[in-house]
Amino acid sequence: MSQDARQYFSLPSPFRMKRGGELHGARVAFETWGRLSAARDNALLILTGLSPSAHAASNEIDPSPGWWEAMIGPGKAIDTDRWFVICVNSLGSDKGSTCPASIDPATGEPYRLSFPELALEDVANAAHGAVASLGIEQLACLVGCSMGGMSALAYMLLHPGSVRTHISVDTAPQAQPFAIAIRSLQREAIRLDPQWNNGHYDDAHFPETGMSIARKLGVITYRSAMEWNGRFARIRLDAEQRDDDPFGFEFQVESYLQGHAQRFVRTFDPNSYLYLSRASDWFDISEYGEGSIQAGLKRIRVKQALVIGVSTDILFPLEQQEQIAEGLEAAGAEVEFVALDSPQGHDAFLVDIENYSRAIGGFLGRL
């Protein structure tokens, strides 16, 4: 059993949120790797996708593999011999940060749906507070993956001068209607599950069905048809893997989705999922540019940026990565744009380690 390597940062109380709510006595969890230099100028912050924890990689206290294990460590692309790496669990996520499953100090009961409306700007501000608490005035690099890439844009825009360089991974300057539609349907699958019970579920009455459908829809949109043609084709399950249920699973791709869902449903708080999902829909950098994405991005000040995207990503399509690259360049950054054709879709950053390592390690190595 590995120990918990989490540290916590207590947010200022009250912590005022973008959409008008506030939290009292809230905190965010984070983990770190490597050593902060005496000049405090080698910090690299990672903001995560919707569901990962702060445990991005193994460390001395918690040797279990992290969600980006292959990318972070001594001699790896994000080299912990050089960088002091921080990964913050998003505010609103249930992996140690204050979230809808947390106790509301005002009532002594879990917030559930009384948790204030959450925006990615709040996620960014909470992460910024954690970084500042470590005595770091400026990050050497801010890395944002998927939803974390949107949080990173908010971070840089709301805290000018707080970031020297930026790595944008498979993300978006605003949610497009296709992504909104997918996430809305995921939320609906949870909300329509009678066990969700307007957010008042417990372990004995848990919206497993809704969470399972939401997760499967997630996995379908995180990967790509091209990858699955090669990986699953039309391969059937062996007879002993099949059940007698009419309309039960028959193809390997169906049991692959089922495996993903089973591993996920009980490891993520459904209300937290709903809040973070909706925050992703709401995010729109053009709010800061009088309706223009480019004008919004132009307000971000970083010296250098690497923007990576994948042609097979249907959730955060390549054109959105191009928008980010163009906007940061127009804002004066020196921008490197890497368009990969990894077959794994949106999840390529977690799977195609070779290409992502080369791009990210190369960029960081040249700093």
- Contact flag: residue 209 with a copy of itself (CB under 8 A): yes
Residue from 317, 347, 350, 360 binding a copy of itself (CB under 8 A): 317
Residue from 18, 187, 298, 346 binding a copy of itself (CB under 8 A): 187
Amino acid of residue 185: L
Size of the site for a copy of itself (CB under 8 A): 47
Residue from 228, 237, 318, 322 binding a copy of itself (CB under 8 A): 228
Judge whether 146 counts as a catalytic residue. Answer: yes
Is the peptide bond preceding residue 14 cis, with omega within 30 degrees of 0? yes
Residue from 18, 128, 159, 278 binding a copy of itself (CB under 8 A): 278
Beta carbon nearer to a copy of itself, 304 or 311 = 311
- Contact flag: residue 233 with a copy of itself (CB under 8 A): yes
Least CB distance from residue 138 to a copy of itself, whole Å? 32
Binding mask 85-124 for a copy of itself (x = CB under 8 A): ----------------------------x-----------
- Contact flag: residue 175 with a copy of itself (CB under 8 A): yes
Query: What is the dihedral sign for C-alpha 235, 236, 237, 238?
Result: negative
How deeply is 314 buried, as exposed, middle or buried, from its count of CB atoms within 10 A (0-12, 13-18, 19+)? middle
Residue from 105, 181, 263, 334 binding a copy of itself (CB under 8 A): 181
Judge whether 166 counts as a catalytic residue. Answer: no
- Contact flag: residue 73 with a copy of itself (CB under 8 A): no
- Cα separation, 60 vs 63, in Å, equals 6
Q: Which stretch binds a copy of itself (CB under 8 A): 37-45, 209-217, 327-335, 351-359?
A: 209-217
Judge whether 313 counts as a catalytic residue. Answer: yes
Write down the catalytic residue from 79, 170, 313, 352: 313
- Contact flag: residue 177 with a copy of itself (CB under 8 A): yes
Beta carbon nearer to a copy of itself, 78 or 214 = 214
Which of 146, 141, 186 has its CA nearest to residue 166?
A: 141
- Cα separation, 280 vs 59, in Å, equals 30
Write down the catalytic residue from 53, 90, 97, 146: 146
CA 232 to chain centre: 27
- Contact flag: residue 294 with a copy of itself (CB under 8 A): no
How deeply is 366 buried, as exposed, middle or buried, from its count of CB atoms within 10 A (0-12, 13-18, 19+)? exposed
Least CB distance from residue 15 to a copy of itself, whole Å? 21
Residue listed under structure tokens 């923007």: 307
Question: What positions carry a catalytic annotation?
Answer: 146, 313, 346
**Binding stretches for a copy of itself (CB under 8 A):** 113, 174-178, 180-182, 184-185, 187-189, 191-192, 194, 199, 209, 212-213, 216-217, 220, 224-225, 228-229, 231-234, 246-247, 249-254, 257, 274, 278, 281, 284, 314, 317
